Amino acid sequence: MVPKADILMIDSTVQVIDVERRAALAEKFNLIYYDCENTTEFIQRLQPGGPYSKIVAILRNGWLKAGPLAQQTPFASEIVPHYPPSLKLICCSGHGHDAADVDAIKARGIWYCNTPDTCTEAVANTSLSLVLECFRFFTYAQWCARNDWLSSRDLGLKAVDPCGKALGIVGMGDIGLAIAQKCESALGMKIHYHGRRRKLDAERLLKYGASYHENLDEMISMVDCVVIAAPYSKDTHHLLSRERLSLAKKEGLRVVNIARGKMIDEDALIEALEDGRVVGAGLDVHANEPGINPKLRDNWRVTLLPHIGVCSPSFLVIGAGVIGLTTALELRARHPEARINIAAKYLPGDSAPEYTSAWGGANWFPASNDNGRQEDWDAITYKKFRQLSSTCPASGILPMNIRFHYDRPIDEVGIKTPATGKLWFEDLVGGLTKIQGDALPEGTAFGFEMASFVIDVQKYLPWLQAEAERQGIKIYRKIFHTIQEALSFDSQAVVFNCTGIGSMTLGGVQDNTMFSARGQILLVEAPKEPIQKMYFRAPHRDADATHIFPRGTTGGVILGGCRQKDNWNGEAELAFAEVIKARCCALVPQLGRPEDLRVVKHGVGLRPGRKGGARIEAERFDNRLVIHNYGAGGTGFQASWGMAQYAVDLVPPRAHL
Ligand SMILES: Cc1cc2nc3c(=O)[nH]c(=O)nc-3n(C[C@H](O)[C@H](O)[C@H](O)COP(=O)(O)OP(=O)(O)OC[C@H]3O[C@@H](n4cnc5c(N)ncnc54)[C@H](O)[C@@H]3O)c2cc1C
């Protein structure tokens, strides 16, 4: 048997060990646990014949500042020459890599991996708070409130609002950009930045853009507050030096550091605070951690944190249909600090029968009658649509009445809630108007008109996507064959499974209670006299319905439809399209003659049906949390916000993630 290669594990005392993955690693490798007293001992053990002399990889994980190993620097310049020739890989958690001599490691042919982008939200929020502190000194004010009210008079001339002030960010990476976005939108600050090169993409993500300064001295002389968000290296050591601080405006500079303590010359900062060139400082990081310079500690204009701008929860949403996008936005609303990614095979703008959201009519017309959660999903979404349609017309959601008719008497069509004997949505929509006499189409038994919403899905999906991106959610194109692949794609995240009909085949899920309910539609040009209402007609609740959904005055009219169970044909059947045309023109004569309709396109979508309704449920895979939100059938738009709310409710408190 080939002997197993050695991996050296440097475990932090603060971390969650994924026991099963650790066991899987141990099956293939011999795991040796680091327990050196100091790096001198580490060097000895690396020597030929020593216990670490054959290691192929080093894994350092968890919170590096925690526990007895925090001060040890196993990747520093003086250690690298002692690594054995067998060493090929170093993996170290954390965003910064200043404690590693990456150049020397690379020169030895060893790969060095870190974990950028895991702490972006947490660090950006920490920065936002420190920027505000530097202007308003709330920490000191709180001390005064608790201990000595009169001392708060010192604040009078110093505390000002940051609105309209210039914020200069050193380093416009992920974290710098997140800080810029937060300070621009929350505090109304004007953004300047310095870095090795101009970043037009980042500038575009800011509402009012940003001023780029190739020269840091120039930026310091123009801004009211500087935030350091760049990596530490020998080139950035004492980046804020005595000379640079002397360039501050005469009104004074504020200084925030969330990067590394040694990027500021702390003695120079103390002098600048004393002579007024620096008005306030907010420091999460310090030159001699865990120690804090006493002169900074004793100055009330300095807000101090013990290097806490680290990780917050993260979520991966699989699926970028209406359910995935809405779930991601609901997550953002409830977990503003979290890292959220969406990964999906199809994204808004794509067209495929199994990307159902691209084919939704769509309107709000409830099919729920469970006197329970399905009705609640629809009700929550109705209220959200009301808000979106009034505050955000760009979303593609318009208020529009719907006329619905059934061929059989009301007590036979299954639309009343059995538990109450009522149409549950009557009050929600502000009442139902009965269609009387001649206005009732021939062959129908009854009909009502009510206030509802039409959704132009070609606008709504890109709008949801843009909202997600604006709120810092990253979207990737990716196919997962199994749920385990998704769990590995983001090894920290809680995964939301919003794969729609994909849940029938996604390995690990393979839900055999699902079925496809094929829908076929046509988009036709709007008639000369625009149709002002939506129309719906069906024999009963579960039968094929005829529907006509005008998309505003210019977006054409959607005609449908059918609900063909287990029919997987992704091609439009042209003979059936003629049937749809005839049914729609009979229901709404204003459309004209079927043969005169100008078809813009035909479409087929496979609704993600599921026996018993949608699945919103938490499940553990290898001790990792997956929250399912799929199987919306023909109601994915009208139930979307409610479903998202119920799914996000299943996220447990942080400690149980
Ligand atoms: C003709 C028609 C009319 C409709 N009218 C209405 C209406 O009026 N009102 C209404 O509320 N609803 C309507 N619906 C239903 C509605 O469109 C669906 O309920 C809804 O689109 C389902 O959304 P979803 O996000 O669950 O699925 P989808 O939109 O199909 O999204 C699934 C996502 O998961 C991704 N995915 C799947 N598997 C994988 C994988 N293995 N790896 C990576 N990504 C994966 C896909 O790429 C996609 O991004 C209609 C549907 C049709 C077909």
* pLDDT over 90 (residue 97): no
**Do 88 and 198 reside in the same domain of the chain?**
no
* pLDDT over 90 (residue 227): yes
**Do 269 and 342 reside in the same domain of the chain?**
no
For residue 642 and ligand 1, the question of a CB distance below 6 A is answered with no
Residue that is last in its domain, among 63, 87, 113? 113
**Do 300 and 328 reside in the same domain of the chain?**
no
For residue 396 and ligand 1, the question of a CB distance below 6 A is answered with no
Cis peptide before 362 (omega within 30 of 0): yes
Report the C-alpha gap between 593 and 596 in whole angstroms. Answer: 5
Report the C-alpha gap between 90 and 58 in whole angstroms. Answer: 5
CA of 457 to the centre of ligand 1 (A): 11
**Do 631 and 507 reside in the same domain of the chain?**
yes
Whether 464 and 637 have beta carbons less than 8 Å apart is answered as no
Q: Whose CA is nearest to atom 16 of ligand 1?
A: 636
The predicted structure's pLDDT at residue 655: 35
Q: How confident is the model at residue 656 (pLDDT cuts 50, 70, 90)?
A: very low
∠ CA 149-155-160, nearest 5°, is 140
The predicted structure's pLDDT at residue 21: 81
Segments forming the whole domain that contains residue 486: 313-362+456-513+611-656
Structure tokens belonging to residue 94: 């954390």
The torsion angles phi and psi of 512, rounded to 5 degrees, stand at: -85, 5
Residue that is last in its domain, among 75, 93, 113? 113
State the DSSP string of 517-568.
Answer: EEEEEEEEPPPSS---SEEEEESSTTS--EEEEE-TTTS-EEEE---EET--
Q: How confident is the model at residue 17 (pLDDT cuts 50, 70, 90)?
A: low
For residue 647 and ligand 1, the question of a CB distance below 6 A is answered with no
Q: Whose CA is nearest to atom 2 of ligand 1?
A: 360
Residues facing 538 on adjacent strands: 406
Report the C-alpha gap between 542 and 2 in whole angstroms. Answer: 63
Q: Where are the alpha helices (DSSP H) in 289-334?
A: 294-297, 322-334
**Half-sphere exposure of residue 583: CA atoms within 13 angstroms, side-chain side:** 25
* pLDDT over 60 (residue 604): yes
Residue 45, CA distances (Å) to 40, 70, 72, 415, 590 in order: 9, 19, 15, 76, 87
Q: Where are the beta strands (DSSP E) in 387-445?
A: 397-406, 433-434
For residue 510 and ligand 1, the question of a CB distance below 6 A is answered with no
Pocket test for ligand 1, best of 359, 505, 536, 607 (most atoms within 8 A of CB): 607
Would 382 be classed as within a structural domain?
no
Q: Residues of the chain with pLDDT > 70: what percent?
A: 95
Whether 440 and 447 have beta carbons less than 8 Å apart is answered as yes
CA of 356 to the centre of ligand 1 (A): 3
Q: For residue 179, how many other CB atoms are within 10 A of its CB?
A: 29
DSSP 65: T
The predicted structure's pLDDT at residue 543: 81
CA of 355 to the centre of ligand 1 (A): 5
For residue 637 and ligand 1, the question of a CB distance below 6 A is answered with yes
Q: Where are the alpha helices (DSSP H) in 100-162?
A: 102-107, 120-136, 138-147
**Do 279 and 188 reside in the same domain of the chain?**
yes
For residue 366 and ligand 1, the question of a CB distance below 6 A is answered with no
Atom of ligand 1 nearest to the CA of 364: 9
For residue 550 and ligand 1, the question of a CB distance below 6 A is answered with no
**Do 174 and 83 reside in the same domain of the chain?**
no
The model's pLDDT over 304-314, given as tens digits with 9 standing for 90+, comes to: 998 877 656 78
Atom of ligand 1 nearest to the CA of 322: 25
Atom of ligand 1 nearest to the CA of 603: 1
Would 387 be classed as within a structural domain?
no
For residue 632 and ligand 1, the question of a CB distance below 6 A is answered with yes
Those residues whose C-beta lies under 8 Å from the C-beta of residue 382, and which sit 6 or more positions away, are 364, 425, 428, 429, 453, 638
Q: Whose CA is nearest to atom 3 of ligand 1?
A: 360
Closest CA to 468 of 346, 360, 345, 326: 326
For residue 360 and ligand 1, the question of a CB distance below 6 A is answered with yes
Domain count, the chain: 3
For residue 344 and ligand 1, the question of a CB distance below 6 A is answered with yes
Whether 213 and 192 have beta carbons less than 8 Å apart is answered as yes
The one-letter code for the residue type at 613 is G
The model's pLDDT over 634-649, given as tens digits with 9 standing for 90+, comes to: 999 999 999 999 999 9
For residue 502 and ligand 1, the question of a CB distance below 6 A is answered with yes
Higher pLDDT pick, 526 / 19 = 526
Would 647 be classed as within a structural domain?
yes
The one-letter code for the residue type at 565 is K
Would 16 be classed as within a structural domain?
yes
Would 416 be classed as within a structural domain?
no
**Do 97 and 126 reside in the same domain of the chain?**
no
* pLDDT over 70 (residue 293): yes
Those residues whose C-beta lies under 8 Å from the C-beta of residue 263, and which sit 6 or more positions away, are 228, 230, 232, 236, 237, 238, 239, 240, 257
The predicted structure's pLDDT at residue 173: 87
Helices (H) and strands (E) in the chain, counts: 17, 27
Atom of ligand 1 nearest to the CA of 324: 25
The model's pLDDT over 122-168, given as tens digits with 9 standing for 90+, comes to: 889 999 999 999 999 999 999 999 999 988 888 877 899 999 999 99
Would 546 be classed as within a structural domain?
no
CA of 145 to the centre of ligand 1 (A): 54
Atom of ligand 1 nearest to the CA of 480: 42
CA of 607 to the centre of ligand 1 (A): 6
**Do 164 and 255 reside in the same domain of the chain?**
yes
Of 62-71, 106-115, 406-415, give the lowest mean pLDDT range: 62-71
For residue 516 and ligand 1, the question of a CB distance below 6 A is answered with no
Closest CA to 100 of 82, 85, 113, 88: 113
For residue 558 and ligand 1, the question of a CB distance below 6 A is answered with no
The predicted structure's pLDDT at residue 657: 42
Would 371 be classed as within a structural domain?
no
**Do 353 and 480 reside in the same domain of the chain?**
yes
Would 600 be classed as within a structural domain?
no
Atom of ligand 1 nearest to the CA of 362: 8
Atom of ligand 1 nearest to the CA of 346: 47
**Do 143 and 232 reside in the same domain of the chain?**
yes
The predicted structure's pLDDT at residue 64: 67
The model's pLDDT over 541-588, given as tens digits with 9 standing for 90+, comes to: 888 899 999 986 567 999 998 889 999 999 999 999 999 999 999 999
* pLDDT over 70 (residue 58): yes
Cα Rg, the chain, nearest whole Å: 31
CA of 640 to the centre of ligand 1 (A): 11
Average pLDDT over residues 11-20: 71
For residue 480 and ligand 1, the question of a CB distance below 6 A is answered with yes
The predicted structure's pLDDT at residue 266: 97
CA of 650 to the centre of ligand 1 (A): 22
**Do 262 and 326 reside in the same domain of the chain?**
no
For residue 346 and ligand 1, the question of a CB distance below 6 A is answered with yes
The predicted structure's pLDDT at residue 495: 96
Atom of ligand 1 nearest to the CA of 358: 29
Whether 204 and 466 have beta carbons less than 8 Å apart is answered as no
The predicted structure's pLDDT at residue 152: 86
The predicted structure's pLDDT at residue 120: 80
Residue that is last in its domain, among 60, 91, 113? 113
DSSP 482: B
CA of 644 to the centre of ligand 1 (A): 14
Atom of ligand 1 nearest to the CA of 325: 25
The model's pLDDT over 418-435, given as tens digits with 9 standing for 90+, comes to: 999 999 999 999 999 999
Whether 90 and 100 have beta carbons less than 8 Å apart is answered as yes
For residue 362 and ligand 1, the question of a CB distance below 6 A is answered with yes
φ/ψ region of 229 (left if φ > 0, alpha if ψ in -120 to 50, else beta) reads alpha
For residue 546 and ligand 1, the question of a CB distance below 6 A is answered with no
Q: Is the dihedral of CA 19, 21, 24, 29 positive or negative?
A: negative
CA of 532 to the centre of ligand 1 (A): 27
For residue 630 and ligand 1, the question of a CB distance below 6 A is answered with yes
Parallel, antiparallel, or unpaired: how do β-strands 253-257 and 278-283 relate?
parallel
**Do 195 and 245 reside in the same domain of the chain?**
yes
Report the C-alpha gap between 374 and 380 in whole angstroms. Answer: 10
